[in-house]
Amino acid sequence: MKPSKIKVFSMFSGVGGFELGFQQANLQTQVVGFCEIDKYASQILETKFKEIKNYGDATKINETKLPNFDILVGGFPCQPFSMAGKRKGFDEARGTLFFDVARILAHKKPRNFILENVKGLLSHNKGKTFETILGILSDLGYIVEWELLNSKNYGVPQSRERVYIVGHLRGQSRPKVFSFRKSTEKSNQKPKLLTKNLGQAQRVFSTNGISVSIIALGGGQGAKTGLYEVKKGTQIRRLTPIECERLQGFPDNWTEGLSDTQRYKCLGNAVTTNVIEWIGKQLYEC
């Protein structure tokens, strides 16, 4: 059952992909707080979600002073679990930020949560890291489901696999978000900017009536130098910031006001809003 007003607390918020995804799903939400330490991403959040408190560093949040909320959302930092990184996991400081998520869940007990991370989380330390995460969430009183979803199935022209973890507080009604039937349904969504599938690493992107090949240069932190190059014949160029916004499901110029370098970085680290829109609809039975 969908609450009349869903109160959201967002962690590691980036430029607001979770919040925007809920809006795209026509969910009546109220963001009661977020935490983000990147000054450029925070600048966008403060512009798009005015008068909402930024709690800053997740490790310094006093959970006893947080407002009540219905759902916690967040893409906890993925670098320690990335296939491309050193994969130190919980041995690296950023890896332990998951425990700040768990600390807040333990005290506030929201009805639901949605967490997102890179595909490499599943295999990190031979699966033991992910097993630990699921065990902690279960011990906190949540029934947990998860699935590896690819953004290309949700109306954006990029192949981007991420793990999505959804939690339901025990004793509450809980629609099943992930299932084979729903996975089949979602794969039928046609990306509005995708004209031809060229395989796992390439897509054709139509802009101003001209089709160009988009070649992925890498995931995660690769966005610092531009996630993609566009190849038309022998010409190669970097995607524009607006094209990167479209790849992640954001409106044009959502990150306007930042330098191109920071826009690439923020968008590369963002969650794909279309995927959150779909999860939100399944979770609240829209």
What residues does CATH 3.40.50.150 cover in the chain?
A: 6-188+269-283
pLDDT at site 186: 56
pLDDT at site 131: 87
Of the candidates 35, 78, 244, 266, the residue annotated as catalytic is 78
pLDDT at site 86: 65
Q: How far apart are the first and last CA of the chain?
A: 9
* Six token digits for residue 251: 């409106």
Decide if pLDDT at 83 tops 70: no
pLDDT in tens, 64-81: 999 999 999 999 886 666
Sequence-distant (≥ 6) Cβ neighbours of residue 163 within 8 angstroms: 116, 117, 118, 119, 121, 122, 130, 146, 147, 148
Sequence-distant (≥ 6) Cβ neighbours of residue 122 within 8 angstroms: 130, 148, 163
Give mean pLDDT, residues 170-181.
Answer: 73
Return d(Cα 105, Cα 137) in angstroms, integer.
9
- Tell me the β-bridge partners of 146: 165
Establish whether 35 is a catalytic residue: no
Burial annotation 223-238 (CB, 10 A radius, 16+ → b, else e): beebbbebeeeeeeeb
In the structure, what pLDDT confidence band is assigned to residue 97 with cuts at 50, 70 and 90? confident
pLDDT at site 225: 33
In the structure, what pLDDT confidence band is assigned to residue 230 with cuts at 50, 70 and 90? low
Give the mean pLDDT of the chain: 80
pLDDT at site 54: 96
More confident residue, 208 or 176: 176
Decide if pLDDT at 29 tops 60: yes
In the structure, what pLDDT confidence band is assigned to residue 209 with cuts at 50, 70 and 90? very low
Give mean pLDDT, residues 8-34.
Answer: 95
H helix and E strand count, the chain? 8, 11
C-alpha to C-alpha distances, 279 to 131, 183, 266, 275, 284, nearest whole angstrom: 22, 11, 22, 6, 9
pLDDT at site 183: 53
More confident residue, 230 or 205: 230
CATH class of the domain defined by 6-188+269-283 = alpha beta
pLDDT at site 94: 58
Burial annotation 74-90 (CB, 10 A radius, 16+ → b, else e): bbbbbbbbbeebebebb
Name residue 174's amino acid: R
Q: Which stretches does DSSP call E strand in the chain?
A: 6-11, 29-35, 71-74, 112-118, 142-150, 161-169, 194-197, 202-207, 210-216, 228-232, 235-238
pLDDT at site 145: 94
* Six token digits for residue 204: 């054709």
Decide if pLDDT at 253 tops 90: yes
Indicate the length of the chain as a whole number. Answer: 286
pLDDT in tens, 139-167: 999 999 999 999 989 988 888 999 999 99
* Six token digits for residue 21: 């995804």
Q: What percent of the chain clears pLDDT 90, i.e. is strictly above it?
A: 51
More confident residue, 158 or 221: 158
More confident residue, 9 or 210: 9
Give mean pLDDT, residues 10-30.
Answer: 95
Give mean pLDDT, residues 257-264.
Answer: 94
Return d(Cα 84, Cα 26) in angstroms, integer.
36
Give mean pLDDT, residues 268-275.
Answer: 94
